[in-house]
Amino acid sequence: MSTFEFTILIAVGSLLAGMLGAVTGLGGGVVIVPLLTLAFGVDIRYAIGASLVSVIATSSGAAAAYLKEGFSNMRVGMFLEIATTIGAISGAYLAASTPTRAIAIIFGIVLLYSAYSANRPPKDLPTDKPPDRYATLLKFDGSYPTPGGEESYNVRHVPAGFGLMYVAGVLSGLLGIGSGAVKVLAMDQAMRIPFKVSTTTSNFMIGVTAAASAGIYLHRGYIDPGIAMPVMLGVFAGALIGARILPGAKVRTLRLVFSVVIAALAFEMIFKGVKGSF
């Protein structure tokens, strides 16, 4: 395979990954690392480096469009990013002494349950339940566009969502994986934020986390421009396409796609944990 063919194939695969990452809130990295390592034989350290760049590209490409269209909740995203960042730092300190094989298997099992629960919309809250005091204090409640006009929503269980975001950060620091799945589920299932708002807000958040990690990989020399550039361009283009698809997509379809991707990631995590690939 020539260098030109190699570059084109990576760019096409990255474009599809960017579309998937934009509509599910996971970031293209979920697909990029397996694509580069299994299909193209790229060293996993360079694959992760390119993946981090792609996550930033997904976040940059999709988050700006979602914000303009009124989907992302920036107040929620900025607040929860505090927990994720603190968790990532904690996970980085724990990484040297914690057996990541066990964590990977446990995380895979949690993801399998997440894939199952994500396909079940949260139960409706009683209409007479008072607003969450933390959400009211921090002005988290908002609205998002629907075919029938603007639809308002109330954010619930802010402390629980903050705690889950910390866990997402710890797992990300321990395993070197993206935590978009946990972020979407925390907002969707725990905080009762509409699924489209959850995925779009997650797209913004994962870019902030990935930027810090990418700096470390760049310092260590694990970002190869010949690989990272077509990945970044492909994912960025795919993210823009995905941002146009999401407003008209059915929530049930998005949940199904999300569940399938999460289940695939879960099996990969469990397999690597049992095999000892971490």
Res. 140 pLDDT band, cuts 50 70 90:
very high
Tell me the per-residue pLDDT of 236-275, one tens digit each, with 9 for 90 and over: 888 888 878 877 888 778 878 878 887 887 888 788 778 8
Give the integer Cα–Cα distance in Å for 270 and 257. Answer: 20
If one counts every other C-beta atom within 10 angstroms of the C-beta of residue 215, the result is 12
pLDDT the model gives residue 45: 79
pLDDT the model gives residue 227: 93
Whether 198 contacts 25, CB under 8 Å: yes
pLDDT the model gives residue 178: 60
Tell me the per-residue pLDDT of 209-224, one tens digit each, with 9 for 90 and over: 777 677 777 887 888 9
Position 27 pLDDT exceeds 70: no
Position 182 pLDDT exceeds 90: no
pLDDT the model gives residue 188: 85
Residue 50: partners with Cβ closer than 8 Å, 6 or more residues away: 32, 36, 42, 223, 224, 227, 228, 231, 232
Tell me the per-residue pLDDT of 36-53, one tens digit each, with 9 for 90 and over: 887 888 887 788 888 888
Give the integer Cα–Cα distance in Å for 277 and 260. Answer: 23
pLDDT the model gives residue 158: 94
